[in-house]
A and B are shown apart, each in its own frame.
Chain A
Amino acid sequence: MTVANAIVVQNLTYSYGEGALRRPVLKGVDLTIKAGEIVIMTGPSGSGKTTLLTLIGALRAAQEGSVKVLGQELAGASQRQMIQTRLDIGYIFQQHNLLKSLTAAQNVAMSLELRDGLTTAQRRDMAHKILADVGLADHVDKVPAQLSGGQKQRVSVARALVAKPKLILADEPTASLDKVSGQEAVNILKKLAREQGTTILLVTHDYRIHDIADRVVELEDGIITPAKPA
Chain B
Amino acid sequence: MQIIQPHYHAIARTAQDYERMAMSGVVAVAEPAFWAGFDRLYPETFIDYFRQISEFEPTRAAQYGIRHFCWVAVNPKEAENPTLTREVLEHFPEFFAKPTVLGVGETGLHKSTKNECESLEAHVEIAMKHGQLVLIHTPHLADKAHGTKKVLEVLAGLKVDPERIWIDHVEEQTIRPCLDAGYWVGFTLYPITKCSPKRAVDMLEKYGHERILVNSSADWGPSDPFTLQECILEFRRRGHSLQEAIEVFHNNPCRFLGQNPKFDIQPIRVETVGTAAVAAE
Bind each other: no
